[in-house]
Amino acid sequence: MTKGAYGERLGEFLRLEQVPPMLMTRSLRSTEIAVTETRNDNPVPGLSGSFAAEDAYLVSLKLRDYPECEIWEQGRHLKKTDVHAGTTYLYDLKADPRYVIDKPLHSLHFYVPRSALDGLIDQSGARRIGALDCSPVGHDDEVVRHIGASLREGLRRPDEANQLFIDHMMLALTAHVAQTYGGFRHKAETSRGALAPWQLARACDKLEADLAGKLPLKAIAAELGISVSHFSRAFRASTGLPPHRWLLHHRVSTAKRLMSVCGLPLSEIAMSAGFANQSHFTRVFSALTGTSPGAWRRDALGASSRED
């Protein structure tokens, strides 16, 4: 299924007028895992559409209360329940989940196919899990809320959501869902250990050569001859940071060098250091250093002139 096809299908399922915004990764077996934010403040009342049956799940983080939600599965009414903002629901797309749309709705939906779950588990050498727990109850899932909040920022500013960040978050979401709702556990030997020195050096070289962060985790892991999940864990063990956070710090270091030695406008420095734009540069730089790029450059140049 293509990215566009999933967005169109979800839009039809929820009777949305426009295809919703989406972020997507192919880090596990080249299988698409996607996240989509859906909102409709004035829906046309009626039963939701229907997904074609497939071996996949929707993990839905509710962003708005939805009282007296009528839930259907396999063509029959299942239950009526109050859905609360901040809760997580899982839907098995083989069971034709549907609900009555008669109130404003706002949710974040993660599309997680079975092949992605199998790919994650096969990389760890563990036994494959059965079906996820899709009981029609709301889960107080802090991890899904955290990942959802991070990805909503990416959905609002897609130019700033580099592929490393998307890959990392979606990999974390898939692993969490497999563990929490499927009973998956990493084997101990795959959960420990840093990268070999040559692997770390090559990974950093690849990241430094692509400051924009368009290179997916899968490509870097393949360069090292290891799985994506192993690379993500081992890189963090080696550096203390996941790859996308390491890249942000490296971008800031690059920007500092440029500001120290040349008089380029901050907008050009932002682009040269891999940021989407000057606004993105300012937000990240300020968050990591506690000061704005302009203030940092004034201080750096002032210190240099005093030394002279």
Over residues 168-183, the pLDDT tens digits come to: 999 999 999 999 999 8
Give the residues across from 33 on adjacent strands.
Answer: 25
Question: 30 by DSSP, 3-state: which?
Answer: coil
What is the per-residue pLDDT for 3? 52
As annotated, the residues of the chain forming the CATH 2.60.120.10 domain(s) are 3-182
As annotated, the residues of the chain forming the CATH 1.10.10.60 domain(s) are 246-307
Domain 246-307: assigned CATH number = 1.10.10.60
Class of domain 192-240: mainly alpha
What is the per-residue pLDDT for 189? 44
Task: For residues 42-46, give the mean pLDDT.
Answer: 91
Residues above pLDDT 90, as percent of the chain: 65
Query: How confident is residue 292, by pLDDT bands cut at 50, 70 and 90?
Result: very high
Q: Is the pLDDT of residue 9 over 90?
A: no
Please calculate the CA angle 148-142-159 and round it to the nearest 5 degrees.
Answer: 15
Over residues 232-279, the pLDDT tens digits come to: 889 999 999 999 999 999 999 999 999 988 788 999 999 999 999 999
DSSP 211-272: TT--S-HHHHHHHHTS-HHHHHHHHHHHHSS-HHHHHHHHHHHHHHHHHHH----HHHHHHH
Secondary-structure percent of the chain, ordered helix, strand, coil, rounded to 5: 50, 20, 30
Class of domain 3-182: mainly beta
Comparing 126 with 69, the larger pLDDT belongs to 69
* pTM for this entry: 0.85
Q: Is the pLDDT of residue 64 over 80?
A: yes
Q: Is the pLDDT of residue 1 over 70?
A: no
Query: How confident is residue 303, by pLDDT bands cut at 50, 70 and 90?
Result: low
CA-based torsion, 97, 148, 176, 211: positive or negative: positive
